Amino acid sequence: MKKQSVKERIVETASDLFYNNGYNQTGINQIIAEASVAKASMYQHFRSKEDIAVAYLKQRHINWMGSLTEFVSNEKNNNEKLIKSFDFLQTWLSGVNYRGCGFQNIICDLPKEQQKIKDQVVLHKNDVKKLIHSLLEDKNNQEELGNELLVLIEGAIILSQIQKSDWPIIAAKNAAIKLLS
């Protein structure tokens, strides 16, 4: 197994801390200590906690989009892929004890001046929207329907986090089935 670089250790450690503890509740010294790196080494790779958060969000985006795409890839048609995306949410969120979306979590925990982080959150959510819309290319009401499905997905994620349950995902899936029929 390949040994992780200092930069990889920092991002992995920060990812876990940001996701589980929150961005504001995680300090740079905690990241340095838990990643077992020297402060000078950390600053060779990242100028600030914000830059570490951007790296975390970029990696999370790649992983999440890849996992979703792979999860739905065996479905026969685009409607089935869209419906199957709710099963992905259920599997993912139950696996993290309904901790929720790292992008939703960080944006709610973000100081106003952290624009680079906000930009990554918007990029991720826009890419999810583009994916949904691409699966609706054959529909007359692609824009409206895609937006409604995105709201169902995002709402299911946050409400399942609040409720610590999968019933919001099941309800959103049922609503999506109705919208797509």
The tens digit of pLDDT for each residue in 92-145 reads 999 999 999 999 999 998 888 889 999 999 999 999 999 999 999 888 889 999
Read off the CATH number of the domain in which 58 is found: 1.10.357.10
Rg of the chain, C-alpha, whole Å: 18
> Residue 148: phi, psi to the nearest 5?
-65, -40
> Does a structural domain hold residue 102?
yes
> Does a structural domain hold residue 42?
no
Tell whether pTM > 0.85. Answer: yes
Give pLDDT, residue 162. Answer: 97
Give pLDDT, residue 1. Answer: 63
For residue 130 the two structure tokens come to 């583009």
> Does a structural domain hold residue 87?
yes
> Does a structural domain hold residue 16?
no
> Does a structural domain hold residue 25?
no
pLDDT of residue 11 exceeding 70, the answer is: yes
In terms of C-beta density within 10 A (0-12 exposed, 13-18 middle, 19 or more buried), how is residue 5 classed?
A: exposed
> Does a structural domain hold residue 84?
yes
Give pLDDT, residue 175. Answer: 98
131: containing domain: 50-180
